[in-house]
């Protein structure tokens, strides 16, 4: 069984892994991952919940509403519904162009639309997706607090915020959680953000622990070279030389460490993020049931000191 951990001061006990719903949004928007089969997406969510995962993270903007609709369909018939977390602040127009808004009326409209798509009466954790525009942070947070008072959202979280931005909104409403990017290839939050959250009792759910599939163990030079034109990763420098070769070498090390434990490279990468005391859980995407089965073991796997040292030495060498 996966050991659960409380998210901040919310009383929500989360499994170490949550299901991430970015990729299942499909291709038809600026940050799509290429074509996605809806049946596969729903099967992936169902399989994650069957295997014990008890929270799903999505966002209104993923697939411009489509990801939320799929989550709503997947959980509608479940006896034991997982926690559902979603995000606001990225809005789109009739031409499917995405922009940012933290205006009170915009956040309220987004919340009402998300509740409909998710087919729920209340959102367990409602997060500001990006702190843009920075000047409207307070207004956005005040509206989130009103939504919470009305019971439309249970808890308020933020994503991609700095310590300074967290400090600005903490007097307005209790911040349950922060969602930052965190992986072996993106360790920056270890310096200031994670210690601050730990000290303040703010839960942390990290995204991209496998850096968008780079560390999954399934990425190859060929795959990276042949991403479909509508896959946003084509533009990501981690999937291009000179970074690509170094990253694939790191993956080989993760495979060697995982093999004796029956764990994939991806599971080792996820477990590495979970070793940090500040981290409550990691968001892990899956586009089909088989992908979910290949990562869920990270929820119970613990790296030894010696294994952590081997990874640390390799990462230090990569930075030179």
Residue 149, φ and ψ in degrees, nearest 5? -60, -35
Question: What spatial distance separates the first Cα and last Cα of the chain, rounded to whole Å?
Answer: 40
Q: What angle do CA 210, 158, 119 make, to 5 degrees?
A: 90
Residue 79, φ and ψ in degrees, nearest 5? -65, -50
Is 182 a known active-site residue? no
Q: Quick check: 259 and 217 in contact, CB under 8 A?
A: no
Only one residue has tokens 């009103």, namely 146
Q: Quick check: 183 and 209 in contact, CB under 8 A?
A: yes
- CA–CA distances in Å: residue 15 to residues 7, 297, 310, 311: 10, 12, 27, 25
Q: Which residues contact 242 (CB under 8 A, 6 or more apart)?
A: none
- Cα–Cα distance measured from residue 116 to residue 127, given in angstroms and rounded to the nearest whole number: 17
Count of CA atoms in the C-beta half-sphere (13 A) of 29? 25
Q: Which of 103, 92, 91, 7 is nearest to 55 (CA)?
A: 7
| Catalytic residue from among 31, 62, 83, 207 | 62
Q: What would the DSSP string read from start to end of 29-98?
A: STT-BS---HHHHHHHHHHHHHTT--EEE--TTTTTTHHHHHHHHHHHT-SSPPEEEEEESEEE-TT--E
* Three-state SS at 293: helix
Active site residues: 62
């Amino acid at each position: 069984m996966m050991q659960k951990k409380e998210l901040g001061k919310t009383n929500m006990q989360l499994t170490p892994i949550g299901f991430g719903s970015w990729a299942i949004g499909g291709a038809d928007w600026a940050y799509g991952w290429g074509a996605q089969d809806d049946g596969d997406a729903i099967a992936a969510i169902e399989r994650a919940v069957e295997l014990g995962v008890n929270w799903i993270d999505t966002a209104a903007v993923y697939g411009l509403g489509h990801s939320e609709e799929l989550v709503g369909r997947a959980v509608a018939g479940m006896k034991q519904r997982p926690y559902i977390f979603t995000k606001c602040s990225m809005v789109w127009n009739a031409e499917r162009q995405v922009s940012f808004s933290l205006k009170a009326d915009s956040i309220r409209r987004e919340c009402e639309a998300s509740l409909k798509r998710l087919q729920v009466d209340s959102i367990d954790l409602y997060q500001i997706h990006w702190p843009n525009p920075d000047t409207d942070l307070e207004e956005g947070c005040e509206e989130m607090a009103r939504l919470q008072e009305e019971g439309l959202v249970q808890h308020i979280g933020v994503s991609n915020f700095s310590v300074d931005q967290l400090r600005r909104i903490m007097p307005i409403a209790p911040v349950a959680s922060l969602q930052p990017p965190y992986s072996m290839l993106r360790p920056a939050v270890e310096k200031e953000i994670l210690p601050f959250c730990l000290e303040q009792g703010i839960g942390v759910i990290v995204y991209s622990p496998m850096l968008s599939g780079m560390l999954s163990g399934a990425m190859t030079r060929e795959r990276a070279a042949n991403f479909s034109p509508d896959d946003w990763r084509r533009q990501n420098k981690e999937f291009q030389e000179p970074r690509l070769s170094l990253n694939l070498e790191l993956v080989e090390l993760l495979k060697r460490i995982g093999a004796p434990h029956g764990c994939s490279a991806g599971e080792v990468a996820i477990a590495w993020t979970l070793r940090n005391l500040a981290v409550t859980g990691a968001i892990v995407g899956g586009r089909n049931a088989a992908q979910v089965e290949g990562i869920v073991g990270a929820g119970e796997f613990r790296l030894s000191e010696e294994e952590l040292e081997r990874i640390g030495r390799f990462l230090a060498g990569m930075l030179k």
